Amino acid sequence: MKKIISYNLNGIRSAMSKDFIGWLRAEAPDIVCIQETKAQPEQIPTKELDELGYKAYWFSAKKRGYSGVGIITKFTPNNVVKGMNIEKYDDEGRFIRADFGDISVVSVYHPSGTNPDRQGFKMQWLTDFHLYVNELRKTRPNLIISGDYNICRLWIDIHNPEQQQKTSGFLPEEREWFKNFIDDGYIDTFREFNNLPNNYSWWSFVTAARKTNKGWRIDYNIITTSLREKLSDAWILPDVVHSDHCPVAINISF
């Protein structure tokens, strides 16, 4: 059984200054998919990760201090692929894949729609990402796609849903994309075990929303349906506070 965690750190150096390493030592996940490293590989202190027995693989944005994904793992992958071979996305450091036998683990950071141009970029990304992973499944059918999707999939995945339907991250077209994606042979692991509202993975710093749990569930461990029988649990860790996000986790056998 492997514990896999996805965690948007909102800056790995910032998280390390808040004892991310101490938490990692105590939590002891087998694999962590990290988003928003906001650092180039040479800027990331890896000595502490090495001491905990983790191998680290990073894919950074060309723009310094922006985006970036990584995978840290206690098990050496057979193969690591950085990017999707689509320049405009790879320049932003949004996708990294590690293969472990017949299972592939992906750390992905979907764009946010911070303005109309970026919303258009996001919607095009969603189309291209869906096509890419469907093509990938032809040769790597067993996928664990962990990351910050920047979309609340369901009505219960956001506080005050009635008032949020014109907000990027909860737009009808975004939720429609997510429905179509799941229907295409993918599983939202958390909702296999928990169908209750008020379970979130991100809270705005601006409004101190975490104190009142006015959050969004935008971080996911998505798996292909081929792995359903190997999944044994999925949960959120809302009390972990290195970031404006919290970790989301699964137990899966491979």
- The enclosing domain of 68 has a CATH number of 3.60.10.10
State which H helix or E strand residue 223 sits in: strand 219-224
Chain centroid to Cα 29, Å, comes to 15
Q: What is the pLDDT of residue 206?
A: 83
Q: Which phi-psi region, left, alpha or beta, contains residue 37 (left: φ > 0; alpha: ψ -120 to 50)?
A: alpha
Q: What is the pLDDT of residue 130?
A: 98
Q: For residue 119, list its beta bridge partners.
A: none
Q: What is the pLDDT of residue 207?
A: 80
Provide the domain count of the chain. 1
Phi and psi (nearest 5°) for 97?
-130, 135
Q: Model pTM?
A: 0.98
Give dist(CA 182, CA 177) in Å, integer: 9
Contact 34, 147 (CB under 8 A): no
Q: Decide if 148 is catalytic.
A: yes
Contact 116, 90 (CB under 8 A): no
| DSSP code for 200 | -
Give dist(CA 251, CA 4) in Å, integer: 6
Phi and psi (nearest 5°) for 3?
-95, 120
Contact 193, 234 (CB under 8 A): yes
- Considering 30, 148, 157, 244, which one is annotated as catalytic? 148
Locus of tokens 């219960």: 156
In this structure, the strands spanning 55-59 and 219-224 are unpaired
Contact 221, 190 (CB under 8 A): yes
Taking the chain (254 residues) in runs of 10, the rounded mean pLDDT of each run is 98 98 98 98 94 98 97 98 98 98 98 95 98 98 98 98 96 98 98 98 91 97 98 98 98 95
Interacting residues of 49 by C-beta distance below 8 A, sequence separation 6+: 21, 24, 56, 72
Contact 73, 80 (CB under 8 A): no
- How many C-beta atoms surround the C-beta of residue 198 within 10 A? 12
Helices (H), 1-51: 12-16, 20-27, 47-51
What is the residue range of 85's domain?
2-252
